Structure 1
Amino acid sequence: MNPYNTPAPAPSRPWWRTTPALLGLLALVALLSAFSLPLGFLAMIAAMVAVWVLSPWCWFTRIGATLSTLLLLTVGAGLGGQVDDSRTAPADAKTADNVPASGTAVSASQTGSKAAKAGDYTGRPLNEAEKDMRSAGYTAINHDAADEDRVIILQSGWTVCFQSSNTAAKSIDFAAVRTSEPCPEKDGGPLPWPKMPNVVGATYNKAVEDLKQAGVNLDQVTLDDVYLDIDTPTAVEAAKDGDDWRVCFQSPDTGNKVDFVTTVNLRLGLWTDADLVRHCPSEKDTTYKIPANDPDYNGGNNNTDRDHSAPHRDSSSSSGSSTSGGTSVGTVHPGSFCSPAGAAGVSSAGTSMVCGPGSDGRDR
């Protein structure tokens, strides 16, 4: 074969002009129309332009792709509740007759007493309410029930708080908030987020009750121990000894709102009748429950470095965390400062440890 007569390879097309990219654009029409009919319509226009201008397809394939785009827009909008599913069902028409009169607003707090009454959608997902009313032949619109004037895009993530209808015009307006939010007292009012109560000085059990009464979600509460040498308890551990744990610091401050993204932090101190220190420190992360565990504590002499390990929360471990040379100091952590040299202890894994000089020359 003569290499000079070999035809040159055809230039490759850009990726955005390939068949997979164009098919992906068609699929995007159905996806966007399921969430918002205007967005789906814009995607359909873009898909048609791409099919007729950018695609390498023949003319009858382009016509088929155009018709498929229109079908995808309709199917996607129908699955997402963006278009009417039915306008002739007699059972649904009966439901529409029971919708509250024009201008009537129904509070979400009344859901329980009117749950059996047809046409009351308060407390229900917005997408279900709109779908039902469109099936009954009504035009359904929506708006933010709070005073923030937010645009509602994904109706399934919003809950109906109020509704008003115009029977003559066969339209209904739903006022909704995000599912994780409480309904305002009136349409267009502020969201009634709970306020952080003052729980400093209260026992853990009392603090939990105060948070519940204030409406704070306990799943948003995190715990820390105020002492540097005590492990942070879990919620189960704190509740078990709830009268021994005291709240020393809280976040957020008293009176601040606690919305669904706020983290409530309680810093706890633990003391029983056997503890020498039974009060909160003046600042966070500065005071040791057992003073001898402070590396800077010298106990009244210059032979200073004491065990800085984290003892267990029982009186026997606390009382045995600092003793004279050659005797056991209870549970210790490898690498912690210790005193005196030669003192013996046991790690949390059960390994015997002896206090002696480390790589920095200090007893560990």
Structure 2
Amino acid sequence: MLGLISPFLGFAVMVVAIVLVWKDTSWSKGVKVAATVAAFALLGSVAPEPEDQSRGTAAPADGKAAVGAGRVNTLARTAPSASPSPTSRPRPAAKDYRGMSLDDAREAAEAAGFGVDEHDASDEDKSIMMRLNWTVCFQRTGWTSSGTRMIDFGAVKKGAPCPREDGGAIPWPTMPDLVWKTWRTAHKEVAALGTVPADHIMASTAYVNDQLPDKGGYDDWRVCVTDPAKGGDVTVGMWVTIGLTHPDNGCPDSGRDDGDRPRLPDRDDDGDPDYHDPFPGDRRRTSSYPDGLPGGSGDSSDGSGGGGGWNCPRTRWC
């Protein structure tokens, strides 16, 4: 009964009673042992259980990710001796900083009373430089051992998509299949990926001896090859090259292994591919000079000699 009132009072009285049983009674030794055990058992059944002292000191972290849940970045969360343990505190309130530049998010969080940490949210684990060029994808809050509210930002380079989880791979868009689409269509599809500026998409010729017309003149030319190739990652700010050919030509054989860059037929070897050479059998006449090219000094077609003549028989130059 005294143990119900106070465990310590009950224990003290029980000790006195046991001593008297062993010293001042004529009971046998076995009876005394049984009485002692029964007394301890009775006191134990009425004494209250001690408070659980093993509750952890780590504060639960609240994280918000752009896609899925992220990894937990450990903050020091051991409670100071003069204040309640972090587990008994409410989670530190924080606004949603996702989508903000890391620089702006840090400034706002510090103004709200948070200590701020940051890390690369991708699996590349890069050091963060120029916070203006990074975007917040994940945030986690907690307490430090000194009772300071902390927030940890997971960020990626500006323009990059957020990983599915903190510390995961960045899901870059990939190069679509553009072969035989027009330049106009291909340019729109690459720009729509969102990671490459329009002025980073360059047109080139698929054949080494071909030449693009002036801008706007190759809008209907066809795509033969791209760099990066179909299925390759198209990352932030990279340059994309699209190799084109005139619709009258096919694309180069992708299976060639001679190591030479593909060339269009040029029978007179004047630099003009046959498909747009007005005189494919006359090396002296090209698309730039359809009536012939000026000849070298000392070469006169009229037989008059004297040097400095024009090598241009039967053309308007003579």
Corresponding residue for residue 225 of structure 1:
205
Q: 1:256 to 1:354 in 2, by over 3 A?
A: closer
* Deviations 1:235-284 (CA, angstroms, capped at 9, x unpaired): x544xx3xx3110122222222121253221111123xxxxx43223378
Please tell me whether Structure 1 or Structure 2 has the larger radius of gyration of its CA atoms: 2
Bigger relative contact order (CA 8 A; separation at least 6): 2
1:178 Cα deviation from its structure 2 partner: 1.9
Corresponding residue for residue 86 of structure 2:
none
Q: Secondary structure at the match of 1:207?
A: helix
* Deviations 1:59-112 (CA, angstroms, capped at 9, x unpaired): xxxxxxxxxxxxxxxxxxxxxxxxxxxxxxxxxxxxxxxxxx832223179xxx
Q: 1:194 aligns with which of 169, 173, 178?
A: 173
Q: Could you tell me how far apart the structure 1 residues matched to 2:272 and 2:204 are?
A: 17
Return the structure number with greater helix share. Answer: 1
1:196 Cα deviation from its structure 2 partner: 1.5
- Does residue 338 of the first structure (1) align with residue 284 of the second (2)? yes
Structure 2's unaligned 5+ residue stretches are 1-59, 69-93, 255-259, 300-310, 313-318
| Paired residues of 1:108 and 1:123 also in contact (CA < 8 A) | no
Please show how residues 200-349 of structure 1 align to structure 2 within 5 Å: 200-212=179-191, 214-215=193-194, 217=196, 218-227=198-207, 228-231=209-212, 233-234=214-215, 236-238=216-218, 241=219, 244-271=220-247, 277-282=248-253, 285-288=261-264, 291=265, 294=266, 297=267, 305=268, 307-309=270-272, 318=276, 321-322=278-279, 337-339=283-285
Please show how residues 92-131 of structure 1 align to structure 2 within 5 Å: 102-107=61-66, 119-131=95-107
Normalising by structure 1, what TM-score? 0.48
Corresponding residue for residue 72 of structure 1:
none
| Paired residues of 1:230 and 1:310 also in contact (CA < 8 A) | no
| Paired residues of 1:124 and 1:160 also in contact (CA < 8 A) | yes
Q: Secondary structure at the match of 1:247?
A: strand
| Paired residues of 2:120 and 2:127 also in contact (CA < 8 A) | yes
Give the alignment's Cα RMSD to 1 decimal.
Answer: 3.9
1:140 Cα deviation from its structure 2 partner: 1.0
Q: Could you tell me how far apart the structure 2 residues matched to 1:308 and 1:107 are?
A: 55
Q: Secondary structure at the match of 1:152?
A: coil
Q: Could you tell me how far apart the structure 2 residues matched to 1:225 and 1:154 are?
A: 38
Q: 1:159 to 1:306 in 2, by over 3 A?
A: closer
Letter in 1 for 2:271: H
| Paired residues of 2:161 and 2:171 also in contact (CA < 8 A) | yes
* Deviations 1:303-334 (CA, angstroms, capped at 9, x unpaired): xx4643589xxx9xx47x21898xxxxxxxxx
Q: 1:246 to 1:105 in 2, by over 3 A?
A: same
Q: Could you tell me how far apart the structure 1 residues matched to 2:298 and 2:223 are?
A: 38
Q: Secondary structure at the match of 2:105?
A: helix
Q: Could you tell me how far apart the structure 1 residues matched to 2:173 and 2:127 are?
A: 24
State the identity as a percent: 30
Range with greater deviation from structure 2 (169-178 or 259-268): 259-268
1:160 Cα deviation from its structure 2 partner: 1.0
Q: Could you tell me how far apart the structure 2 residues matched to 1:346 and 1:166 are?
A: 73
Structure 1's unaligned 5+ residue stretches are 1-100, 110-117, 272-276, 298-304, 326-336
Normalising by structure 2, what TM-score? 0.54
1:174 Cα deviation from its structure 2 partner: 0.8
Q: 1:182 aligns with which of 161, 174, 178?
A: 161
Q: Could you tell me how far apart the structure 2 residues matched to 1:346 and 1:105 are?
A: 64
Q: Secondary structure at the match of 2:179?
A: coil
Aligned length: 209
Corresponding residue for residue 173 of structure 1:
152
Q: 2:117 aligns with which of 137, 141, 151?
A: 141
Letter in 1 for 2:101: P
| Paired residues of 1:126 and 1:158 also in contact (CA < 8 A) | yes
- Does residue 156 of the first structure (1) align with residue 132 of the second (2)? yes
